[in-house]
Amino acid sequence: MLKKRIIVCLDVKDGRTTKGVKFLNNVDVGDPVEMAAEYYRQGVDELVFYDIIASARGRGPILDLIHRVASQVFIPFCVGGGIGTLDDIRSTILAGAEKISLNSQAVKNPSLITEGARVFGNQCIVLGMDAKKDPTCPSGYRVYINGGRIKTDLDAREWAVRAVELGAGEIVLNSMDADGTRAGYELDLTRMIVEAVSVPVVASGGGGTPAHLADVLTKGKADAALIASMVHSGEYTIEGIKKDLDKQNIPVRCLSCGCDN
């Protein structure tokens, strides 16, 4: 049985880690380089770095900061925000990323998914998707871009299926309704996307307790759970979360080294 992954997200704005609720009222929570080092020490399985204002400002990734974060961790490291060309993908990988998250730019230029997968491999291209409840959409959820600022015409399930067909090797699915609330993941949304695609799905938005992770990894069928606020606050540690999941017979990676044993 494949082990479930615990992934920490660093939302970065102007060089600092920030966190908000439902994409609003973001506050500074620390230095991303120092935080990456600490989560690696705690045993996190993967790290995700999102520059949350790059696309809105029309600029590329901050390569120096990405390099400094990557130098602190020796686990899969995914970077998103402002990556709009193959050259951006290449330079971000050279800065230390193993995976590239395409969100707004994937919607604006879907061929970037295909070209990125062709050049760098499907395993390198992650679809980042911000979805919000909308009863007018076939699936009940609509896709938003530019950090949740712009509504698109895309249905969440249809876009997920199409992105995988284009070459995405993984999906990080963020519920805008649950984001930052620490009230639990959107289980119905997560399960719907998992059942619609053939690639791993990472649940994001709403993680507040180990019980929430247990729910989304079992009832929601997610391959991994992305967390932020619950560890940024210091209330929980990666080790503590993994121990709790292990007690519930949810397969997690080795507590001591992150391997699959």
Catalytic residues: 11, 130
Element (H, E) at 251: none
> For the purposes of burial, counting CB atoms within 10 Å of the CB of 123, is it exposed (0-12), middle (13-18) or buried (19 or more)?
middle
Q: How far apart are CA 116 and CA 110, in angstroms?
A: 10
Element (H, E) at 114: helix 111-120
For residue 167, CA distances in Å to 66, 102, 180, 246, 254 come to 24, 12, 29, 33, 30
Region of 43 please: left (phi>0), alpha (psi -120 to 50) or beta.
left
Closest CA to 203 of 183, 184, 181: 184
Closest CA to 75 of 43, 118, 101, 106: 43
